A and B are shown apart, each in its own frame.
Chain A
């Protein structure tokens, strides 16, 4: 199968400019500079490139939201705040193929007539930030960034900006606020970043993988990219598999991959001879699937049809013998820890969910607690400034809906049947 991104990731030197160029790196940029911005955007639209950060919003459509008039300078923010549990693909791109990202940024900015780009990278990725710094420096030295790109007259400045430990900063308006030096609070929308974004300027925020796909799209054409996937979800995706599998890791597969196939064949099936119990398909915020629900195409539309999401393509494999209440408790701790605290339902609700689920796991759940959790979820879902509350609610609801008897047992028996252990 065609590898858009990872073809040369096994080569440790691929992250250096010289090796990257040996494999045709920056040829796409040269080609793009000779195209019109409209033509580039057109290819991206034809590519059916859905945002790879979890929301799946079509990149070409998002790009189209920028205002037509150029009187206010634009900003591109690359969202490298990869924080969704189960997701680790952007780290791979940045450490093995940083120039894919840098070249993608250059092409995107040229197409969007944007002269400033910031790579907002999560603070914990210290090594990856250094690698990016080096790649950006190499690009400046080679004339692919900076003033008068390749003699085109186009100027572009790229800055690597480190976050400092906050999952919420992966939400695009929170990314922007954090870039501006503020607490990572999401903003009310509207206005959307394309009208009022970073520093009040029209801004596009795109995921690392989304931007990294751009050079290939320019080289091979949007239609070719689209054909690698399915009808509404073009190209390949970097699918991460983690948890109790034999071969955890990142796999570049078509958007038409089958979820069961990915787990059992690509990732080598369950380790230690265990059977499958459950799968969280697209990062921890997506509704959980039972073992008998995974024979499905892993594209955005198909996953939505069965009541979950492909999200960040971060598949978490849960083996038999796992206490689902305990697993949910881990997640509820996560969302409570990461809630920015700005709005009431999320701030108070995530904390309450954590306490309720924690108590049930500790054998101190009370009759009615499960109903209370579900009622609380109803009061949180869709009521908040951003989707973090929804992200906490979806695991809570789906774990209860699909594994209700485990919760009831904890409450009825006043203890964890699995011995409070994973």
Chain B
């Protein structure tokens, strides 16, 4: 293992490590723009220049591999002057857009200017080279070529990750400009990542444009619910509204990326939410209180089972629910209501598009979890639907906002066969329009739990902010309902439920929130 001495600290590094990577590992921050751990090395921004003993010229830390005994200084006056010099050159044409630029607050130029610059401009305003601003280049991206520092991260991403190369450098010298070929906009499912990797405000998100200054946003770890990939995300919010999702790094799942559809899944947590418990009487909605509605639902389900037998009551689970919720729901259905009429479906209306990168055909985050926890789907679901359609069900508990790929009309027609339908759901949809009683559920950002992704990785999503309106955590709903049915559950929260899952469900044996940690844990077998 080669030994590197950097700023006086000595460390052993794996062969092939660059100075920049090694420095990160010992907490030395070497400024850089063009380097990105998931992209090839470009070495063009020249910000990461460091002094290396025995080399007459400063070397770029990003591209210099550590050789045994190498001595590097990143903290000398010579290095500081070099970095300031490069930064000054990078800023001479940069437009003074900060007041209107979305990148402000998370901008590489701002950050390094405060650390290494703080100089007055020596460049005449009238000499600035002007380039095309505010271009809609397709996908989720707006391009402002004037702000671009030509680090080439975007070109490398589109060449090495998506293989589509819609962006490239045109012209040369200080008239070089990033652009798309006219009439050939971004055309891939990962355009949102460009705004993440662009260190400045040249490539920004259309969706996020002008919506919020980033220093007002808070963040929490979550999991994307757009498909069964379970890309790890950082959710950004202010108050109780989500503003955007950004990929969170996890080499085992999504590296540093997420898809465009997934990025917009936060909208569903903001819009068209079910926020008040209500019942539907004679076509009109009447607000209800949790304190009375929840016992009422439990009572109606139990009564239907007592009267006509467990066969007359049914539960439809959702692959959008967490492992913890599905476990409780299964027990409620099978142990407390004693029914075999329990199923779910992963089918959704619309496309089942998938690719060989991140996007899975299954558009639910926890199909795998539902199956592992013993909830049947497929033929079992179809049979249950048939039973409902033939009028064989008196009381139905539905989790979720839709019934598979059934349309609003089909859902209404189907549920018209059931005298009492209770829904636990997050958003208005076909089910809420046809349900008798609606119990509003907290969204993924308003509760915690785990999902099991398509590859069997159990991952945590974290509590972000308290449920909006009168929505309630489905774990609470289920524990409360279960206890009304005589369960005697004492689970205090998701963690306790997960411990129970790990205790009795073989695939999760031995797991805990600790063992899942930040990057998830694969199930057994």
Contacts and interface: CB of A to CB of B under 8 A. Distances in A.
Contacts of A320: none
A349 interface: yes
A383 B46 contact: yes
A297 B131 CA distance: 49
A338 interface: yes
A343 B46 contact: yes
Contacts of A336: 173-174
B48 to A, nearest CB: 11
A351 B174 contact: yes
Interface in A310-352: 336-345, 347-352
A52 B411 CA distance: 82
A339 B173 CA distance: 5
Contacts of A372: 122
B45 A344 contact: yes
B33 to A, nearest CB: 9
B87 to A, nearest CB: 9
A188 B63 contact: yes
B172 A339 contact: yes
Interface in B161-189: 169, 171-176
Given A188-B43, A379-B85, A383-B86, A347 B173 contact: yes
Contacts of B169: 183, 341
B49 interface: yes
Interface in B43-81: 43-47, 49, 56-58, 60, 63, 81
Interface in A370-409: 372, 378-379, 382-385
B41 A188 contact: yes
B172 A340 contact: yes
Contacts of B45: 343-344
Most chain B CB within 10 A, of A183, A338, A348, is at A348
B172 A352 contact: no
Contacts of A345: 46, 85-86, 89
A349 B89 contact: yes
Given A341-B169, A342-B44, A345-B46, A378 B85 contact: yes
B389 interface: no
Nearest to A389: B46
Contacts of A382: 56-58
B129 A351 contact: yes
B280 interface: no
B92 A379 contact: no
A421 B228 CA distance: 72
A8 interface: no
Name A's interface SS. helix
Given A344-B46, A348-B93, A383 B85 contact: yes
A10 B69 CA distance: 59
B174 A347 contact: yes
A343 B44 contact: yes
A305 to B, nearest CB: 18
B123 interface: yes
A384 B46 contact: yes
B173 to A, nearest CB: 4
A378 B149 CA distance: 21
Nearest to A369: B122
Contact of A347 (B47, B57, B60, B176): B176
Given A336-B173, A336-B174, A383-B82, A344 B122 contact: no
A341 B49 CA distance: 18
A351 B124 CA distance: 12
A232 interface: no
A383 B92 contact: no
Interface string B288-328: 00000000000000000000000000000000000000000
Give the size range of B's interface with the partner: 35 or more
Contacts of B93: 348
A343 B33 CA distance: 12
Nearest to A338: B173
A339 B174 contact: yes
Contacts of B127: 352, 355
A389 to B, nearest CB: 10
Given A343-B46, A348-B92, A352-B123, A379 B173 contact: no
Nearest to A364: B124
B150 interface: yes
Contacts of A343: 43-46
A2 B233 CA distance: 75
Contact of A166 (B43, B49, B150, B172): B172
B173 A337 contact: yes
Nearest to B129: A351
Most chain B CB within 10 A, of A338, A347, A385, is at A347
B158 to A, nearest CB: 15
B86 A379 contact: yes
A383 B58 contact: yes
A183 B124 CA distance: 30
B90 interface: yes
Nearest to B82: A383
B88 interface: yes
Contacts of A351: 129, 173-174
A3 to B, nearest CB: 39
A379 B43 contact: no
Contact of B89 (A340, A342, A344): A344
A383 B56 CA distance: 11
Given A342-B44, A383-B86, A183 B172 contact: yes
B57 A344 contact: no
A370 to B, nearest CB: 13
Contacts of A384: 46
Nearest to A355: B127
B176 A341 contact: yes
Contacts of B122: 372
Contacts of A342: 44, 150
Contacts of A341: 150, 169, 171-176
Nearest to A340: B172
Given A188-B63, A385-B43, A344 B86 contact: yes
Most chain B CB within 10 A, of A188, A342, A379, is at A342
Contact of A352 (B41, B44, B89): B89
Contacts of B124: 355
Contacts of B58: 382-383
A349 B149 CA distance: 14
Contacts of B46: 343-345, 383-384
A9 B127 CA distance: 49
Contacts of B41: 188
Interface string B128-152: 0100000000000000000001100
A351 B174 CA distance: 7
Contacts of B81: 379
A199 to B, nearest CB: 17
Interface of A: 166, 183, 188, 336-345, 347-352, 355, 372, 378-379, 382-385
* Pairs A-B, 10 closest by C-beta atoms: A379-B85, A341-B176, A351-B174, A348-B89, A339-B173, A382-B57, A343-B44, A341-B172, A188-B43, A341-B173
Given A352-B92, A372-B122, A379-B85, 14 more contacts: A188-B43, A336-B173, A336-B174, A339-B174, A341-B173, A342-B44, A343-B46, A344-B90, A347-B176, A348-B89, A348-B93, A351-B129, A352-B127, A385-B43
Interface of B: 41, 43-47, 49, 56-58, 60, 63, 81-82, 85-86, 88-90, 92-93, 122-124, 127, 129, 149-150, 169, 171-176
20 contacts: A183-B169, A188-B60, A336-B174, A338-B173, A341-B169, A341-B172, A343-B44, A344-B47, A344-B90, A345-B46, A345-B86, A350-B173, A352-B123, A379-B81, A379-B89, A382-B56, A382-B58, A383-B57, A383-B58, A385-B44
